[in-house]
A and B are shown apart, each in its own frame.
Chain A
Amino acid sequence: LAKTTQPISMDSYEGQEVNITCSHNNIATNDYITWYQQFPSQGPRFIIQGYKTKVTNEVASLFIPADRKSSTLSLPRVSLSDTAVYYCLVPGKSGGGADGLTFGKGTHLIIQP
């Protein structure tokens, strides 16, 4: 079972770059790494997904080293509205349905003025 480990909470300030690292030591060869964002009283929202090296979109960047045992979500120049819970997902062999995607507790990111 590919289990993920990420910090329970982080805090930063407006305008800073925030990096959230997730470890997934048992990731399978063909599996992608997916990150979701969740605001209070809302459903999670897909942020970014990657397989290796670096992926960038309009919201974030995802850095994945060659061994793929970890990944880092990078949020550039955060604002107060980036305060949310961020989940790192990697498919596993059990749980998470046919897709194997299981949400852990996530990282609660708090951005201060």
Chain B
Amino acid sequence: EAEVAQSPRYKITEKSQAVAFWCDPISGHATLYWYRQILGQGPELLVQFQDESVVDDSQLPKDRFSAERLKGVDSTLKIQPAELGDSAMYLCASSPWRGRSPDNEQFFGPGTRLTVL
């Protein structure tokens, strides 16, 4: 069964350092999402791509976060500089659908656990 891949699984960094997370969605999936999940909370959407285009990044802290999906396949989320409050699980999900669809099932990866010291 095809899965969403993410790396690294765990990352420890010091504040003010730069970190990057990678996501490889299920082959053929047009839409890719990055979520941040703080312990005890539900996932919060940071950015949504359709193919290589950003369709929503309204919740992305653009002063320090950036995301790209250059060829419309895999994606990278970067934080520079990292802050203590960025400690969280970063989840990537993909969906075969383009645009808003009533049965838009999202397939999630295992996540990257970030700890900022």
Residue interface bits A69-113, CB-to-B below 8 A is 1, else 0: 000000000000000010100010001111111111110000000
Interface residue? A41 (CB, 8 A): yes
Contacts of A51 in B (CB 8 A): 102
Which residues of B have CB within 8 Å of A87?
A: 42
B42 lies within 8 A of A105 (CB): yes
Kindly state the separation between the CA atoms of A58 and B108 in the bound complex, as whole angstroms.
Answer: 20
Minimum CB–CB distance for B85 against chain A, Å: 18
Contact of A46 with B42 at beta-carbon distance under 8 Å, contacts A98-B48, A98-B50 already known: no
Number of A-B contacts (CB under 8 A): 69
Q: Is the CB of A97 within 8 A of B45?
A: yes
Chain A interface SS verdict (over half): loop
A98 in contact with B103 (CB, 8 Å): no
In the bound complex, what is the Cα–Cα distance between A30 and B101 (angstroms)? Answer: 10
Q: How far is the CB of B21 from chain A (nearest CB, A)?
A: 13
Q: How many residues of A contact B (CB 8 A)?
A: 27
Contact with B along A1-37 (1 / 0, CB 8 A): 0000000000000000000000000000011101000
Interfacial residues, chain B to chain A (CB-CB below 8 A): 4, 33, 35, 40-45, 47-48, 50, 55-56, 58-59, 89, 91-93, 95, 99-111, 113
Q: List chain A positions with a Cβ less than 8 A from chain B.
A: 30-32, 34, 41-46, 49, 51, 85, 87, 91, 95-106
